[in-house]
Amino acid sequence: MFKYFIVAAFFTSVWAQNNFEPCTVEGQQICRVGGYQICAHHDFTGLTFGPVLSCGGGTTCFPSADGGIVCRPVSDLLQCPFGSSRCFNNTSVQQCTSFPRGTVWGNPVPCATGQTCQNGQCFNKPPPLPKCTIGNMECATATTFRTCVPSDNSNAKFITRSCAPGTECKPSGTFITCSVVV
């Protein structure tokens, strides 16, 4: 009985000292003050979070979107207004979330298929404009027309303009006219 008491006292001491708390998914990682912990089978404790591991100089632990962790520079703290969002690239968005020591940009979340990120939000991509021949004109709607002009990247693009009030767009060969509505 005395041996059991010594082992139990040692186990309790190790548990408290290393903050071994039970976990259920081997390999799961969580952030802790000073670094992070990994869920694994440890002596005397079974499946628990192990000792705190350091992220390394100048970095701190951040939770990741996939449930893991990522060690990032301390300069990433207090980097955004809580609740705001931004585009990570043209197909992913990031949300500003709170963190125990500040606010951080979360991991990029992809936009849905067929969407693009603009001004921190995912939107459906507009259909591509048809290719055009420089100088051609066409009616875009009953009261607007498009003219094909050179663009900055040596391609061509349409510029849309409105007909004058009280007129409508009428095709006339390769040109258009805005005629008075009768």
Q: Write the pLDDT tens digit of every residue in 152-164.
A: 766 778 888 999 9
Order of strands, edge to edge, in the sheet holding 156-162? Answer: 137-139, 144-150, 156-162
70 in a structural domain = yes
Same domain, 65 and 2: yes
Q: What is the pLDDT of residue 112?
A: 92
- Rounded CA-CA distance 50/64 in Å is 19
Same domain, 82 and 65: no
Find all residues with CB under 8 Å of 69, minimum gap 6, and list them: 29, 30, 31, 36, 61, 62, 63
Banded model confidence at residue 16, pLDDT cuts 50, 70, 90:
very low
149 in a structural domain = yes
Same domain, 82 and 64: no
Which letter does DSSP use for residue 22 in this model? B
Same domain, 63 and 96: no
94 in a structural domain = yes
Taking residues 107-119, report their average pLDDT. Answer: 87
28 in a structural domain = yes
- State yes or no: pLDDT of 11 exceeds 50: no
For 50, other C-beta atoms within 10 Å of its C-beta total 17
Same domain, 82 and 70: no
Q: Which stretch of DSSP H or E encloses residue 2?
A: helix 2-18
Show the domain range for 89. 77-127
Same domain, 65 and 81: no
132 in a structural domain = no
- State yes or no: pLDDT of 122 exceeds 80: yes
Q: What is the pTM of this model?
A: 0.37
- Rounded CA-CA distance 83/104 in Å is 10
Same domain, 105 and 88: yes
Same domain, 56 and 97: no
Q: What is the pLDDT of residue 128?
A: 62
- State yes or no: pLDDT of 50 exceeds 80: yes
pLDDT digits (tens, 9 = 90+) for 125-142: 766 656 778 888 888 888
- Rounded CA-CA distance 130/113 in Å is 22
**Residue, of 48 and 17, whose pLDDT is higher:** 48
Average pLDDT, whole number, for the chain?
77
Q: What is the pLDDT of residue 154?
A: 65
Phi then psi dihedrals of residue 90, to 5 deg: -80, 0
Same domain, 47 and 90: no
**Residue, of 173 and 120, whose pLDDT is higher:** 120
Same domain, 11 and 66: yes
Same domain, 3 and 63: yes
117 in a structural domain = yes
- State yes or no: pLDDT of 1 exceeds 80: no
Structural domain tally of the chain? 3
